[in-house]
Amino acid sequence: MSPFYKNLSLYLWMAPHFFLVVLGMLLYRRGLHRTFPFFFLYVWYEVAEFLLLFTISRIHHGAGYVTAFLVTWVGSAALRFGIIHEVFNKVFSHETHADAFSKAVLWWVTATLFVGAVFLSLFATGQTSGNLIAGISLVGRGVAVIQCGLVLFLILFSNVLGISFQSVEFGIALGFGIYACADLAYFAARTADPSLETVRLLNLLPTGSYHITVLLWIGYLVFPKRRLVEPLQPYSAGEVSRWSSEMERFLQ
Amino acid sequence: MTYVAVYFVVACVVASLLTYFALNRKVDTAGIESAQKLMNSLDIEAFRNLVNPEEEAFLQASLPADRFKAIKRERLWAAFAYTRALSGIALEFSRFGNALSQSPDAGMADLGKQLSGGAIQLRILALTASGRLFMAAAFPNLPHKSPRSLLEQYDRSAKLLTLCGLRERSRRSESRVSA
């Protein structure tokens, strides 16, 4: 393993969590922990998870690390589902007319994606070694399929209905979407039991995309898109001149 | 390996779509005149006639069966085109309502919220009516439901838009007087 790769992978593992601390503090300072409780919890959960895994990796490698990774990964995946649901509720809760309809559609989409992910895991797996990593990758790929689909559906559906996203909501959804896409590609490649060199390269994919995701979240929080409003149409030149001649007439 | 490639392609396509949406977020515009112009562009009375069940019953009674079937199909295709146009207008109304809901004038902001909610409802109804009319036009022998709720929702949105227009006009005249 080259020192460059070692430093890069260490940086990509550590840096997003440092930025997550910044994000967590920003969310708290802006009172967004009340608006997005799941997201706030997720941010600090990820930081705690990193500290735990980093400490374990420094003490000893092996079964202990794998167990801790697995347990925390399940929690993280569950929280991500919670956040997608939270953003969905936030976007559609303002729209009382669309709320019931959108919830019904979301339920059906989630159910379809779940069945699709299970179906793909059973019938579209290709050659796998059958070891623990391949098994985890299979589950991870299924989770990524569902999350990718949900985020894409959320953005497409709100676009179709003409529901406008606030910047922070859109940023959260976009970040998770991009991260889920990277996860999908990563877990799909891991199921094929690749060589050690390929695994090393592949490991940079989720960590790199997570880094981008965290920066995206901070970006959308710190530099929200200015209100998506154009001013009401100004008075036309004709109106102003008519108004001015009326005024002149009045003053005479 | 083929499966891996497929998943890779799917992941890339989804990521590209998300990036596209992020880069092309539309600016909601607030211009009452343009919204009213858009609403007037649709001949809603013609649409009402096209989907009027009584008119259809009259045609059925006065025309031979094969002629009626052909005319019914043509009327349904025309109604389908109207609902598609209405669906596009609803989308613009929704954007307009969203923009208006950010107005510093509390009354206008409230009207904007109502307009945006109504527009979303109108869009949902227009999309479902489009589907129904498409099916009815493809299979004219099957019974079909008149999109009455769509027309009712359109009337509600039109009233709200007129109210917005009146409020905006009075706001302008108030600002003229105060100036």
pLDDT at residue A28 above 90?
A: yes
Smallest CA–CA distance from B24 into chain A, residue:
A159
Cβ contacts of B93 within 8 Å, gap of 6 or more: A162, B35, B38, B39, B115, B116, B118, B119, B122, B157, B161
Name which of A97, A141, A205, A215 to mutate to probe chain B: the one with the most chain B Cβ atoms within 10 A of its Cβ.
Answer: A97
What whole-number distance in Å separates Cα of residue B165 and Cα of residue B172? 10
Lowest mean pLDDT, pick from A94-98, A179-183, A186-190, A193-197: A94-98
Between A3 and B176, where is the model more confident?
A3
Among the listed residues B138, B142, B144, B147, the one whose alpha carbon sits nearest the alpha carbon of residue B73: B138
Q: Could you read off the pLDDT of A204-245 as tens digits, one per residue?
A: 999 999 999 999 999 988 887 654 444 445 445 555 565 566
Summarize pLDDT for B115-131 with one digit per residue, the tens. Answer: 888 888 888 889 888 99
- pLDDT of residue A98 exceeding 80, the answer is no
Closest-CA distance, A156 to chain B, in angstroms, reads 9
- Identify whether the C-beta of residue A211 lies closer than 8 Å to the C-beta of residue B37: no
Top pLDDT among A163 and B155 is at: B155
Q: What pLDDT does A231 receive?
A: 44
- The mean per-residue pLDDT over the stretch A80-85 comes to 88
Among B100, B96, B162, B31, residue whose Cα is nearest residue A235: B31
Tens digit of each residue's pLDDT (9 = 90 or more) over A100-124? 777 788 888 888 888 888 877 777 6
Higher pLDDT, A193 or A145: A145
Average pLDDT over residues A167-182: 88
Mean pLDDT of chain B, nearest integer: 82
> What is the pLDDT confidence band of residue B24, given thresholds at 50, 70 and 90?
confident
User: Distance of alpha carbon A197 from its chain centroid, rounded?
Assistant: 28
Chain A, nearest residue to B90 by Cα: A162
Residue holding tokens 């209405």? B86
Q: How far apart are CA A178 and CA A170, in angstroms?
A: 12
Q: Which three-class secondary structure string do you get for chain B?
A: CHHHHHHHHHHHHHHHHHHHHHHCCCCECCCHHHHHHHHHCCCHHHHHHHCCHHHHHHHHHHCCHHHHHHHHHHHHHHHHHHHHHHHHHHHHHHHHHHHHCCCCCHHHHHHHHHHHHHHHHHHHHHHHHHHHHHHHHHCCCCCCCCCHHHHHHHHHHHHHHHHHHHHHHHHHHHHHHHC
- pLDDT (average), residues A140-165: 83
- In chain A, residues with a C-beta closer than 8 Å to the C-beta of B21 are 155, 159, 174
**pLDDT number for residue A228:** 45
**Token couple for A190:** 């891991």
Asked if residues A84 and A147 have their Cβ atoms less than 8 Å apart, the reply is yes
Determine whether the interchain pair B11/A96 forms a contact, defined as Cβ–Cβ distance below 8 Å: no
Give the whole-number percent of chain A exceeding pLDDT 90.
24
Q: Is B18 on the interface with A (CB under 8 A)?
A: yes
pLDDT tens digits for range A29-45: 988 899 899 999 999 99
ipTM of the complex, rounded to two decimals:
0.74
The answer, for B10 touching chain A at a CB cutoff of 8 Å, is yes
pLDDT in tens, B28-38: 665 666 777 77
Predicted confidence (pLDDT) per residue in B55-97, tens digit? 888 888 888 888 888 888 999 899 999 999 888 888 888 878 8
Count CB atoms within 10 A of the CB of residue A181: 28
Instruction: Pick A159 or A149 by higher pLDDT.
Output: A149
Share the mean pLDDT of chain A.
81
Supply the pTM of this predicted model.
0.74
More confident residue, A83 or A250: A83
Q: Do B95 and A192 touch (CB under 8 A)?
A: no
Q: Which residues pair with A229 in a beta bridge?
A: B28
User: What are B95-112's pLDDT values in tens digits?
Assistant: 788 777 777 778 888 888
Q: What's residue A38's pLDDT?
A: 92
Which of A151, A161, A195 to probe the B interface (max B CBs under 10 A)? A161
pLDDT at residue B147 above 90? no
A87-99 as b/e, with b when 16 or more CB fall inside 10 Å? bbebbbebbebbe
Please answer yes or no on whether A181 and B91 come within 8 Å at the CB atom.
no
Please tell me the distance from the alpha carbon of residue A45 to that of residue A76, in angstroms, as a whole number.
8
Q: CB distance A228–B11 less than 8 Å?
A: no
A interface test, pick of B13, B18, B91 with most A CB neighbours within 10 Å: B18
A contacts of B103 (beta carbons < 8 Å):
232
Query: How far apart, in whole angstroms, are the C-alpha atoms of residue B158 and residue B171?
Result: 20
A129, pLDDT greater than 60: no
CA distance B122 to B44: 14
Residue A40's pLDDT is what?
94
Euclidean distance between CA atoms A147 and A114, whole angstroms: 10
Distances (CA, A) of A24 to A16, A39, A217: 12, 9, 11
Asked whether the predicted pLDDT for residue A71 surpasses 60, the reply is yes
Report residue A67's pLDDT band, with 50, 70 and 90 as the boundaries: confident
Encode chain A in three state secondary structure: CCHHHHHHHHHHHHHHHHHHHHHHHHHHHCCHHHHCHHHHHHHHHHHHHHHHHHHHHHHCCCHHHHHHHHHHHHHHHHHHHHHHHHHHHHHHHCCHHHHHHHHHHHHHHHHHHHHHHHHHHHHCCCCCCCCHHHHHHHHHHHHHHHHHHHHHHHHHHHHHHCCCCCHHHHHHHHHHHHHHHHHHHHHHHHHCCCCHHHHHHHHHHHHHHHHHHHHHHHHHHHCCCCCCECCCCCCCHHHHHHHHHHHHHHHC
What are residue B28's DSSP bridge partners?
A229
Nearest 5°: CA angle at B9, between B4 and B15? 125
Residue length of chain A: 252
